[in-house]
Structure 1
């Protein structure tokens, strides 16, 4: 996905402002398995996925709990680092070879002070990420595992072809055996 489309899906910017923001963006590539962001660090960089799939996970009692997947067009950042300048709680792992757009948070913040459109864009980015988090939380609390799997099938079918079942089971809050049973029942 092209950076112009990614930026404008968050909050459309006037052409001159879009160009100003893009001056701070660079392209990077990393291989599958690379840890892009690490827990217990204040992350200084945010990314947008040009190509590839990533997952966010936290470690708990020697387990990795996947709580988010990112795909083409999605932002990748530690919200706690971005908003509060505090250490994040998540690791971000690349599940495929990825092409990413990268921007340093300090440079972005300088642009917030320079251009009201970019400041509004940054606010809109945070608002949209908050809504996505609320939706995941509500789904996890109010739906059965089967309902969550069906929702994933309907809203993100590409994940089922591109992500290991163990990560999907963790994301759904169930074991891989339970996921296999649910998939068999649905067929």
Structure 2
């Protein structure tokens, strides 16, 4: 997925605004298992996934708890750093060799001040991330593990072939044995 397609998924930009924004974006590559964002740091970059899979996780009592997955077209970001310039709480690890687009948050903030269309793109970007976070929270609070697994299959149909089952089990809040039982019933 190219950067123009990824940006358009958030909010349509005119050609001049799109060109202004894309001039600030660079393509980068990182290997599998690279941790692209780390907890307890103010992150200065936003990444858009051109190719590959990433996961967001927290460390709780030495255990990695997977919170979300990102695939082609998705964003890697610490919203705490993006919105409040505060240290983030999440770690983001690449689960495959990845090709990404990188955008410096300070450059983006400057564009927000200079271009209302890009500022509106940024507002829509934050709104979409808020909605995703709310959906994850609601799913965790009120959905069963089986329902969460079905939703994962719906939103990420090829994830099962690309991600270790321990990460999927962690995301669902179940053991690998329970995940095997869920998979057997579907």
| TM-score, structure 2 as length reference | 0.98
The reply to whether residue 95 of structure 1 matches residue 75 of structure 2 is no
Structure 2 SS opposite 1:146: helix
Structure 1 SS opposite 2:36: strand
In the TM superposition, what is the alpha-carbon distance from 1:154 to its structure 2 partner? Answer: 2.2
In the TM superposition, what is the alpha-carbon distance from 1:117 to its structure 2 partner? Answer: 0.4
The reply to whether residue 106 of structure 1 matches residue 96 of structure 2 is no
Partners of 1:154 and 1:109 in 2: how far apart? 34
| TM-score, structure 1 as length reference | 0.98
Partners of 2:155 and 2:51 in 1: how far apart? 19
Map of 1:143 onto structure 2: 143
Partners of 1:101 and 1:154 in 2: how far apart? 26
In the TM superposition, what is the alpha-carbon distance from 1:134 to its structure 2 partner? Answer: 0.5
Moved more, 141-150 or 45-54: 141-150
Moved more, 147-156 or 40-49: 147-156
* Matched residues, number: 186
Map of 2:62 onto structure 1: 62
Map of 1:19 onto structure 2: 19
Q: Write out the 4+ residue segments of structure 1 that deviate beyond 3 Å after TM superposition.
A: none
Q: What is the Cα-based RMSD across aligned positions, in Å?
A: 0.7
Can you give the 5+ residue segments of structure 2 that lack an aligned partner in the other structure? none
In the TM superposition, what is the alpha-carbon distance from 1:166 to its structure 2 partner? Answer: 0.3
Partners of 2:149 and 2:123 in 1: how far apart? 31
Partners of 1:141 and 1:153 in 2: how far apart? 19
Superposed CA offset, 1:48-88 (max 9, x none): 00000000000001100000100001111100000000000
Map of 1:132 onto structure 2: 132
